Chains A and B, each alone.
Chain A
Amino acid sequence: MLAFIIQRLLQCALVMIAVGFIAFSLFNFVGDPVSLMLPPEATTADRDEVRKSLGLDQPFYVQFVKFAGNALQGNFGISLRLGRPVSQLLIERLPATLELSMTAALLALLVGIPMGVYTALKRDSWLSRFILTISLIGVSLPSFLIGIFLILIFAVWLGWLPSFGRGDTIKLGLWSTGFLTLSGLKALILPAITLGLFQMTLILRLVRSEMLEVLRTDYIKFARARGLTNNAVHFGHALKNTLVPVITIAGLQLGQIIAFAIITETVFQWPGMGLLFIQAVQFADIPVMAAYLCLVGFIFVFLNLIVDMLYYVVDPRLRAERSGGGH
């Protein structure tokens, strides 16, 4: 197990170097931050001087090696847009993004799995058909559209919930949380639904189809023949066996939620990392973009590792195979 984790961590490092390298080679195309940092009436000499002082006149591989060297020491440079250390900015924004994505993921799991089970067990009820029809919307509508619809209904028409921002936050050490204030919780509702809706419907549909498959298998029939109660059959045997693919998808989707909170964060002006990234792209703020991409790369690799480890917990066959084959 330990060897497996170390191997995975090494892979993680490789992936991040690759991410950083590809990102840097693309930065040549995002444009020149200097033209946005200086006023239009700046002289050509001014521009050249700033460009030189930032090292932007050097080829990208030189810039990359410098960046990687500094990053290893935990220094991601200064944001060109805000003039503040990038690591400080990311630490400030991380709580907002994590709180939003965790809420969205929990929402997706806690609503998606029961509804999936229900629609699989009561295949023909009108409620199942209704849920499935509605879930089509979640799968097919892009999240920025859902966000704007929700804002229109709940903020503009009904006036119940705020249309933007994170409400009041409370500082717990470095972590700023919106969970402890009423306005923070209210501000969380719409973005969390917007961000979680797609994953929710995906999980719902996945659980349903897996469940239907499992219910047809022989061991379920035997279980019924043994006279087990419906509950024991459905939740003890059927649901447990549907969970392996669900964990895989949910784990990968959590990465997606964090990485693609960008759109939801932009629509709701949620002060997380995604919003920081979008603004960095527009400003060609290379230090922020590089650090963000590396962080997202890291989150993905890390989540994959967790997912792999969860397989062991859920599926006893893997444990048996590994130990049997390895020793």
Chain B
Amino acid sequence: MFPLKLISCSILAVLFAIAMSAATAKTLRYATQDEPQTLDPHSASLAVTTRLLSNVYEGLVGRDKNFKLVPWLATSWSQPDALTWRFKLRPNVKFHDGATLTADDVVFSMERILSPNSQFKSAVQGVSKAKKIDQLTVDLIMREPNPVLLNHLFTFRIMNKAWAIKNNSINPQNYKDKEDTYSSRNTNGTGPFMLKERQTDVKTVLVQNPNWWNAGSPEKGNVTEVVLLPIKSNATRAAALLSGEVDFVNDPPPQDIARLKSSTDVKIAEGLEARVQYLVFDTSRDELLYSNVKGKNPFKDVRVRQAIAHAINVQAIKTKVMRNLALPIGSIITSTDQGYAKDADKRLPFDRDKAKKLLAEAGYPTGFEITLDCGNNQPAADICQAIAPMLAQIGIKVNPNVVNTANYFVKLQKFDTSFYLLSWGTPTSDALSTLQYLLRTNDGAGTGNGDGNYGRYSNPKFDRLVDAFRVESDMKKRDAMIREALLLLNAELPVLPLHQAIIPWAMRKNVTAIFPPNSVPYFFRFRID
């Protein structure tokens, strides 16, 4: 009798366990266009990878539901002097393999992110090294002051030292190597989800981390498993959502949004992405490469740039091209970025007569011809096509030149352009990287100054402002300098911001998602009901 009872008891227990797990298991099937290239948190800084790894690895600082910086793996920090930041680590944080987080892991991750194969150096801007003070205290020693270090550190993710050494992954993947690195296929973070299975281009499965230090967070939802399913084809991705084979799509095809909205099983959550679409003029050459104006450069005249700003009907682009998924903007940085100034976010109004008048004053009453370069990704190509007839109305004949994305950057890096369209969002949510990278004069020093300034705008006053606020630690003074720089841009218009994109997330009706400005889905905040 006894064994039988025992057996039936254990069967009951098993059944109960199965029923329990069925009741609590909440799997989110998440479809997205592209496969994450690597699982190494210090290797490739690309959006697809970041979206996945932000759920597995964590940083010293984090961001809450409202995108405010909050203590994360560090519980507090201080600045003993201008060139030192001291972080107190959270005790008893466990990595997925069970190891405990210590200062050694932070020092190791800092060395790793500063190594030549890493592409995340901007996450530790200004830091020269990390120093262990005790088991749970780390000092970051700065090369130069960085008043917004915390904004940057948000994307500095901590990896376990012992695990990396054991698996021969001290450095991020180097593409010269013949073999792949263990850490590009496996993970060991402290985050809310851990990697269970990975089949490239088929699926990647994350499961809830049962020992997550922040499991008691009031922001926590109820997702226990995330299955990432890359689906390349737009139509198939939308179909899979409609047929209920996936629960969440972070990049539904824009042409299908209306149809998805009309379905009773699907809903759309829209969020404003901190990314600006903007036009750039070649303000450097004495004669444009791709124009019929010879002997001079019309874009050197601010009135021509203003005329173009007046001639572009950004509302029409918003409603017709972007299907209302855009917010017109007059500033190159967005409202969620540190340094944003409302009075510097001003567009010149759409006014064709004014545009014609300015053009005539500048000496081009009949306009001129110009080639506008843009990538073949959407919506960029469509925006280019829409701008051409708008400028034709004031006599500027625009030839849109749509270039394959892989070739596009090569073209721009060679400054082989007169007028181009691009989009930019800063990973650090701070004005510095935008202004320094996109608009400061490229001095060739290799410090990132003007590396994305393909129109080669150069204004000593602007450069001085950027150099000054880069190391200014008084936030008030810093913000004032940023504002002055932004106002200068508004007056000079070396770049013409168009809009911020609104990103639609499509999901089944029973899913609740929270959209942060960096458009990363933090699955621990998701709910399935």
Contact = CB atoms under 8 A, between A and B. Distances in A.
> Do A and B actually bind?
yes
Interface of A: 29-33, 35-47, 49-50, 53-54, 75, 77-78, 80-85, 89, 92, 148, 151-152, 155-156, 159, 162-166, 266-269, 271, 275-276, 278-279, 282-284
B37 A40 contact: no
Contacts of B201: 269, 271, 275-276, 279
Contacts of B35: 82, 279
Contacts of A39: 44-46, 119-120, 122, 427
Interface string B14-49: 000000000000000000001101100001111000
B119 A78 contact: no
Contact of A44 (B174, B231, B408, B413): B413
A33 B406 contact: yes
A47 B405 contact: no
Contacts of B237: 164
B175 A53 contact: yes
B175 A164 contact: no
A166 to B, nearest CB: 7
A269 B446 contact: no
Contacts of A84: 180, 184-185, 200
Nearest to B246: A164
Contact of A40 (B175, B239, B452): B452
Nearest first, the 4 closest Cβ-Cβ pairs linking A and B are A31-B406, A35-B409, A39-B45, A31-B407
20 contacts: A31-B408, A35-B406, A35-B410, A38-B119, A44-B451, A50-B175, A54-B175, A54-B176, A82-B35, A83-B180, A148-B235, A152-B239, A155-B243, A164-B229, A267-B233, A267-B235, A269-B231, A269-B236, A271-B199, A275-B232
B178 interface: yes
B424 interface: yes
Interface in B384-439: 404-410, 413, 424, 426-427, 433, 437
Given A32-B409, A47-B413, A266 B232 contact: yes
Contacts of B452: 40-41
B59 interface: no
Contact of B181 (A54, A83, A152, A271): A83
Given A53-B175, A163-B239, A269-B232, A81 B410 contact: no
B474 interface: no
B232 A31 contact: no
Contact of A82 (B200, B404, B433, B446): B200
A36 B406 contact: yes
A42 B406 contact: no
Interface residues of B, number: 60
B177 interface: yes
Contacts of A269: 201, 229-233, 236
B413 A163 contact: no
Nearest to B437: A41
A163 B410 CA distance: 37
Given A80-B175, A83-B180, A159 B233 contact: no
Contacts of A164: 229, 231, 233, 236-237, 239-240, 245
Contact of A156 (B34, B46, B242): B242
Contacts of A82: 35, 37-38, 200
Contacts of A163: 236, 239-240, 243, 245
B405 A267 contact: no
Given A75-B178, A82-B37, A266 B233 contact: yes
A168 B231 CA distance: 16
Interface in B237-274: 237, 239-240, 242-245
B173 interface: yes
Q: Which of A31, A267, A271 has the most CB of B within 10 A?
A: A31
Contacts of A30: 404, 406-407
B179 interface: yes
Contacts of A267: 233, 235-236
A155 B179 contact: no
Contact of B232 (A32, A47, A279): A279
Nearest to A39: B45
A83 B243 contact: no
Contacts of B229: 164-165, 269
Interface in B35-75: 35, 37-38, 43-46
Contacts of B185: 84
A50 B233 CA distance: 30
Interface in B175-223: 175-181, 184-185, 199-203
B427 A78 contact: no
Contacts of B426: 41
A24 B429 CA distance: 41
B448 interface: yes
Interface string B68-99: 00000000000000000000000000000000
Contacts of A45: 446
Given A30-B406, A53-B175, A164-B236, 11 more contacts: A32-B406, A39-B44, A42-B451, A43-B448, A83-B181, A159-B244, A163-B239, A164-B231, A271-B199, A275-B201, A275-B232
Contacts of B232: 266, 269, 275, 278-279
B451 A43 contact: yes
